[in-house]
Amino acid sequence: MDLRPLGAAAKPPRPPPARLSPRPPCRHRGVDRVRLRRRHGGVEPRRRRPERLDRSPRDIPGEDDGRVAGSQDAVGSAPDRRDDAPGDHRTGHGPRRSRRVGGPHPPRAPFDRGGPGVCHRRGAAVGFPDWGLLRPGGTGGYPRRDHGSPRRVDPGIDPDRVPGLGNAADAGGMEEVGVAVRPSHRRLSSCGRDMGGRRRRAPIRVRPRSGTVFGSGHRRALVTASFDVRFEPWIPVRDSDGVLRKVGLRDALVQAPTIAALAVSDPIDEPALLRLLLAMVHHIIDGPRTERDWVALWEQGSLDAELVDHYLDDRSDGRFDLFDDVHPFLQAPVEGAVRPAVEIHKRFVSGTAELFFEHTDTYRDVDAVAFPADEMALYLVTAHAYQTIYRGVQPGTLLKGMVLFNVGANLFETLLLNLVRYDPAGEFPMPGSDDRPAWDREAPVAGRVRPPEGYLDYLTWQPRRVQLIPAQVDGRIVVSRIRVERGEQFDDAFKARYPRWDPMLPAEVDDDGNAKKIWLPFERVAWRETRRLLSPATQLHAKTRYVRPGVVDHREALALRYDIPLPRDLLAVSTGTPQNPGSLYWWRKDTIPVPPQILGHPQRSTTVRVALERTEDAYRTLVRNLGQVLDTLAVDGGRQRIRADAEATFRSYLLDFWDRLGSRFEGLLDGVIADDPDAADRWLEELQTVTMDVYDAATRPYLTAAIALEDVFRHRRFLAAHFRRPDRRGS
């Protein structure tokens, strides 16, 4: 693998010296020779001779000789010096391993405790080159040790693991942007400390610039990287004929009538992309200010191509370039440590993180992962919307919430069905004065606290300042390194109220106007939310009420006033986080049935809402009676295990309660739409049957317990009496 800046001439490596004197261990860790002998079977192992990049200052070209720094050839692996002792290897497992006396130090796995000549943090051989090959974000170009493999110079990125690029080793090497050499006046270990224990930071600061110099110090390399999101394909879509392809922003807007839908692989990408496109449409048409403007745009059938081209041509100064030197798209120049590209978002499980369920690949060697520029553009958009809490960074606007949006027959209808009235002067949908999207603004100021200037500023809000560092693999632009720091933060007043202004977020609003996002728990079925969506405001508690999102109000207005074909269902994307939203545990994509024939009809919507309220009441009664049976099973301390098993069993049957009713809910909606007077009575009968069946199935295994037998039958009578009350009967 060839690691050198673009345009650099290859220089053959100098052969290693005939003999290298042994070096002391990494002293900031502290190695006790007595403990070392115990670990190696009573014999002090011979110190191994580390590999090093043998370059002297006189081999480095001058400032003005035209050559590029960092052009050392790193193809292949360094010679293995353990060949003189072929039998010297690990022969056992566990803490004590037998070794041949007098052999060299055996290979160690990464993150293993190091012996002589081994850095304890990364298990890397400690070399002492006069000139170190420094990588962006690295602390030194020292040889690393992989478990059971020969030593090699780690280029930082393995092209075999680049997603979507195939086997890059057969097609050519990888050229990374920003590689330079710099004199190392102190001896460094591979964990970034000098041999005196002092911390040494990487001296290179890499700024991704288009057609400008990279690197720092007295060696610089000329690199050109560009990815214009206006025209480069990066948005995955599915055409009306079923063909999957990628388009740029311009084609996504102009060809929207021929595009069936967004074809993203992860559910969280769809609302993030949709909100980006909505911000562009609002800014292009400067509206719609009134309902009449919206109807005219719907009857037009597509966006004006000349208007879209004029808008994009006016912004040809690099603001839509992913690697622009002044205003990169949805980014800002960042001065700080360089991190792996997988840290762009918590959707990627990297390092030693473990989850029981992983939505994406697990990357153990995060330094060896790079993403193509088109994928990185998509991840960047999603990262701003679903940003997790990290070191003072506020969460994204869609994190830990339920996002609701309409889906039409094609992308154009989807955009318009979610295109609510936009009037900045009338402070709709949210207050603001100088409203502009992020690409028409200056870069966000790190740590600044302010409210958004309007709806477009809110849709393109950047809670983190991100900077992508490009590289090239076989002529293709990839991103393997990024820089991140906290961006701008909402002020307290806006943070307490913005969920009620977001047209896609259902919210719980109190009497003071403060709002909280309502999210869908993992075990809750989505169709239960139909009851709340059929009413503009539902009282939840004494001082709080449920306020449905603006896209549902927009949908109801269209159903009442116009003969427009509206979809039957709403699409809901939900995410789950722990109590402190620093990670993304799960996401889900559901459909919530909200037929326009019911939404725009007050009597029908009341019938469905009352039926669902009785269902919730029956569920609470079922839970209460099962809980009292659990208390009976735990009447003495010896039955705690039985109670725990019974609780797990009851929870599984409670989920079955909603699953069995879900298949019958569509029949209720069809009957109400057809104005069937017996639809509500049939639903109540099915509800009683399912409730009693679930109770009997959950308590049947515990009828043999004499202490619970009487209570099981007593609470069953209470549950049956719930449906015989006059206020529980159908009308």
* Share above pLDDT 90 across residues of the chain, in percent, rounded to a whole number: 45
Contact 705, 711 (CB under 8 A): no
Residues 503, 529, single domain; the answer is yes
User: Does the structure show a pLDDT above 60 at 32?
Assistant: no
- How, if at all, do strands 349-350 and 362-363 pair? parallel
The more confidently predicted of residues 513 and 98 is 513
Q: Which of 5-9, 17-21, 70-74 has the lowest mean pLDDT?
A: 70-74
- How, if at all, do strands 537-539 and 235-239 pair? unpaired
Per-residue pLDDT, 426: 84
Tell which of 562, 593, 624 closes a domain. Answer: 593
The more confidently predicted of residues 506 and 149 is 506
Residues 621, 580, single domain; the answer is no
Per-residue pLDDT, 577: 73
* Amino acid of residue 108: R
Provide the CB-side half-sphere exposure for 641 (13 A, CA): 1
Residues 528, 617, single domain; the answer is no
Average pLDDT rounded to a whole number, residues 287-308: 96
Average pLDDT rounded to a whole number, residues 209-236: 63
Average pLDDT rounded to a whole number, residues 24-34: 50
User: Does the structure show a pLDDT above 50 at 117?
Assistant: no
Residues 589, 617, single domain; the answer is no
Residues 637, 577, single domain; the answer is no
Per-residue pLDDT, 726: 56
Q: Which of 75-84, 559-568, 714-723 has the lowest mean pLDDT?
A: 75-84
Per-residue pLDDT, 62: 40
User: Does the structure show a pLDDT above 60 at 638?
Assistant: no
Tell which of 593, 618, 651 closes a domain. Answer: 593
Per-residue pLDDT, 180: 32
Q: How sure is the predictor about 474, in pLDDT bands with cuts at 50, 70 and 90?
A: confident
Per-residue pLDDT, 613: 93
Average pLDDT rounded to a whole number, residues 600-620: 93
Q: Which of 81-85, 301-305, 375-379 has the lowest mean pLDDT?
A: 81-85
Average pLDDT rounded to a whole number, residues 148-168: 38
Per-residue pLDDT, 703: 76
Mean pLDDT of the chain: 74
Phi/psi for 222 (5° steps) reads -90, 120
The more confidently predicted of residues 625 and 27 is 625
* Domain-located, residue 545: yes
- Model confidence pTM above 0.95: no
Residues 707, 588, single domain; the answer is no
Per-residue pLDDT, 87: 42
Per-residue pLDDT, 24: 52
Residues 457, 583, single domain; the answer is yes
* Amino acid of residue 330: L
Q: How sure is the predictor about 592, in pLDDT bands with cuts at 50, 70 and 90?
A: very high
How many domains, in total, are found in the chain?
3
Residues 31, 48, single domain; the answer is yes
Domain that holds residue 699: 601-728
Buried b (16+ CB within 10 A) or exposed e, 580-594: ebeebbebeebebbb
Average pLDDT rounded to a whole number, residues 544-569: 92
Q: Which two tokens stand for residue 526?
A: 């989505």
* Domain-located, residue 224: no
Report the alpha-carbon distance of residue 19 to residue 81 in Å, rounded.
Answer: 11
* Domain-located, residue 49: yes
- Write the DSSP symbol of residue 261: E
* Domain-located, residue 217: no
Q: Which of 220-229, 342-351, 606-615 has the highest mean pLDDT?
A: 606-615
Beta-bridged to residue 468, according to DSSP, are 482
* Domain-located, residue 717: yes
Distances (CA, A) of 451 to 211, 435, 448, 493, 631: 36, 11, 10, 8, 50
The more confidently predicted of residues 580 and 138 is 580
Tell which of 593, 621, 656 closes a domain. Answer: 593
User: Does the structure show a pLDDT above 70 at 186?
Assistant: no
User: Does the structure show a pLDDT above 90 at 628?
Assistant: no
Contacts of 104 (CB under 8 A, 6+ apart): 45, 46, 48, 49, 81, 82, 85, 88
User: Does the structure show a pLDDT above 50 at 469?
Assistant: yes
Q: How many CB atoms lie within 10 A of CB 563?
A: 7
User: Does the structure show a pLDDT above 50 at 178?
Assistant: no
Residues 56, 100, single domain; the answer is yes
Residues 269, 194, single domain; the answer is no
Per-residue pLDDT, 635: 59
Residues 167, 309, single domain; the answer is no
* Domain-located, residue 218: no
Per-residue pLDDT, 669: 96
Q: How sure is the predictor about 50, in pLDDT bands with cuts at 50, 70 and 90?
A: very low
The more confidently predicted of residues 149 and 454 is 454
